[in-house]
Amino acid sequence: MRNRTTILLLILATVALSAAAAGVAGYWYIKPAVVTMAVSAEPSPEYRFARKLAEVLAQNRASIRLELMTAESGQQAMTRLSQNEADLALVRSDDRRIPPMARSVAVLEEQVLLLITPAKSKVRSLADLAKRHTLVMDRDGRNEALFRRLMEQYRHDGRPASVTVVPPGTPLAPRLASGGGIDAAILLMPLSRLSGPEDFAAMERDFKGFSVQAITDAKALERKIPGLYAETIEAGLLSGSPRIPDEDLDTVAVQRLLVARAKLPEQYVVEVMRALFENGRQLAVEQTFATRIEPPSTEKAALIAIHPGAQQYVSGEIKTLFDRYADVVFIGLYAAGILGSGAVALYGMVFRRAPIHAGSRAHALAALRERARAARDGQELDAVEMEIEMVLDGVLSGLADGAISPRGLEGFRLAYDAARDAVAASRRGIITPPRS
């Protein structure tokens, strides 16, 4: 009864452990992983984009959930990425301190530089701004830093340059008008916004004669400043009527990139790529940000190397679950085999009864020998002899199936012979009674 209870408890424990392991594995597989993204505070276009991305991932029941972590500046976002506090971040291609462990995921936006001058201005290029008072529209110091780097390329010290920094949305017409004290304005405008003509059409109405100057050295500047790219503004892109610009203009641009930690699991980045390129319309911040999301550069000489997960999505060679965990599955099967063998051995130790020594049956034969000696008639001796043979049959059967070990077998033989001799002697005494 005790053995049955033990067996039942072990079976129940095995079933419970198996169910628990399956439940843990299922929960681990189904539960979305949390991915953190460092982004500027609300209500910036970047924050609105990141919030939309988090909503899309939740709606699509992706294997990841996106949590937003606000950063006061782009530098703080990069610091959090480098310290593994964030998994994703937005950087600008001309940032000087992009962490070496950052890997590109997507190009979210391209910002082109516009050099705007008032009517009858003698400024025709960046080189003419050396001793001019320049207005730079800036939100976080990046545009001013880029302007000073550009001025250094013309052998002008960028720091003493006369610069006035104003926040985005500041009206330019009053500043560039006669008496405004500004000789030129530097703007970095998203291509998403340039497709909307309202800003420049209104400026043309309020401020007649302004011009958008070409950056004629765009190709050279692209080679000199990492993260800067030559770009062309098509005629009429800023405004169709009046036509601004009236012909194609060369300029420079920077990219807004979504980057990830190099060690962020590839399948997480694949999920982000799916959301970006299969739900682009939902993610766009209208005429402001991320209306033309593009895959990152796959070239080995790219400014920021592409993340392996993004590379899989771009090349269409996304790894399956088995591809990702083939090694784990192999090791798991190997470990399961070892554990299974151990479990079988454990069950064998628990369920298997210890074999009886053959010598232990000698006590029964000794008792039968005494009964044979005390027998008074042939019927009692027949019964004793039958029991002796039953003991012998039991030992022989036990030796055959392993229930009885051969230990003490010699003693058993001696006891068996003694019992048989006692039966024979008693029979002779009954047949030939003693003389009086």
Residue 370 has pLDDT above 60, yes or no: yes
Q: Which sign does the torsion angle of CA 133, 134, 137, 138 carry? A: negative
Quote the CA–CA distance of 275 and 282 in Å, as a whole number.
10
Per-residue CA distances from 262 to 85, 94, 114, 258, 307 (Å): 13, 20, 34, 13, 7
**Looking at residues 121-134, what average pLDDT do you find?**
86
Quote the CA–CA distance of 233 and 279 in Å, as a whole number.
27
Q: Which residue has the higher pLDDT, 148 or 398?
A: 148
Residue 122 has pLDDT above 70, yes or no: yes
Positions of E strands within 72-138: 88-92, 102-117, 133-137
Identify the pLDDT of residue 295: 93
Q: Which residue has the higher pLDDT, 244 or 128?
A: 128
Identify the pLDDT of residue 3: 53
Local confidence band at 1 (pLDDT 50, 70, 90 cut-offs) = very low
Kindly report the average pLDDT of the chain as a whole number: 82
Predicted confidence (pLDDT) per residue in 320-347, tens digit: 654 555 566 667 676 777 776 766 666 6
Residue 158 has pLDDT above 60, yes or no: no
Quote the CA–CA distance of 81 and 77 in Å, as a whole number.
6
**Cβ atoms 418, 370 nearer than 8 A:** no
- Percent of residues, the chain, with pLDDT higher than 90: 31
Structure token pair of residue 34:
């949390």
**Looking at residues 361-386, what average pLDDT do you find?**
85
**Looking at residues 385-413, what average pLDDT do you find?**
83
Nearby residues of 399 by Cβ (< 8 Å), 6 or more positions away? 358, 405, 406, 409
The most confident of 83-97, 355-369, 396-410, by mean pLDDT: 83-97
**In terms of residues, how long is the chain?**
436
Residue 192 has pLDDT above 70, yes or no: yes
Residue 435 has pLDDT above 70, yes or no: no
Residue 117 has pLDDT above 50, yes or no: yes
**Looking at residues 149-172, what average pLDDT do you find?**
78
Residue 205 has pLDDT above 80, yes or no: no
Quote the CA–CA distance of 411 and 205 in Å, as a whole number.
123
Angle at 334 between CA 328 and CA 339, to 5 degrees: 115
**Cβ atoms 111, 188 nearer than 8 A:** yes
**Cβ atoms 258, 102 nearer than 8 A:** no
Residue 107 has pLDDT above 90, yes or no: yes
Identify the pLDDT of residue 181: 80
Identify the pLDDT of residue 193: 77
Q: Which residue has the higher pLDDT, 33 or 121?
A: 33
Nearby residues of 150 by Cβ (< 8 Å), 6 or more positions away? 126, 158, 221, 225, 252
Local confidence band at 147 (pLDDT 50, 70, 90 cut-offs) = very high
B/e letters for 313-323, b = 16+ CB within 10 Å, e = fewer, are bbeeeeeeeee
Quote the CA–CA distance of 418 and 412 in Å, as a whole number.
10
B/e letters for 12-46, b = 16+ CB within 10 Å, e = fewer, are eeeeeeeeeeeeeeeeeeeeeeebbbbbbeeebbb
**Looking at residues 129-134, what average pLDDT do you find?**
85
- Percent of residues, the chain, with pLDDT higher than 70: 80
Residue 238, classed as helix, strand or coil, is coil
Angle at 286 between CA 280 and CA 287, to 5 degrees: 115
Residue 190, classed as helix, strand or coil, is strand
C-alpha count within 13 angstroms, C-beta hemisphere, residue 367: 6
Predicted confidence (pLDDT) per residue in 284-303, tens digit: 887 778 888 999 998 888 88
Structure token pair of residue 173:
């017409």
Nearby residues of 361 by Cβ (< 8 Å), 6 or more positions away? 391, 394, 395, 404, 412, 415
pTM of the model: 0.67
Residue 351 has pLDDT above 80, yes or no: no
Predicted confidence (pLDDT) per residue in 234-286, tens digit: 888 877 777 778 888 999 999 999 999 999 999 999 999 999 999 888 898 87
Local confidence band at 380 (pLDDT 50, 70, 90 cut-offs) = confident
Identify the pLDDT of residue 426: 86
Identify the pLDDT of residue 398: 81
Predicted confidence (pLDDT) per residue in 211-236, tens digit: 888 998 999 999 999 999 999 988 88
Local confidence band at 22 (pLDDT 50, 70, 90 cut-offs) = low
Quote the CA–CA distance of 77 and 73 in Å, as a whole number.
6
Q: Which of 183, 208, 165 is nearest to 128 (CA)?
A: 183
Identify the pLDDT of residue 320: 60
Tokens 């043979």 — which residue? 389
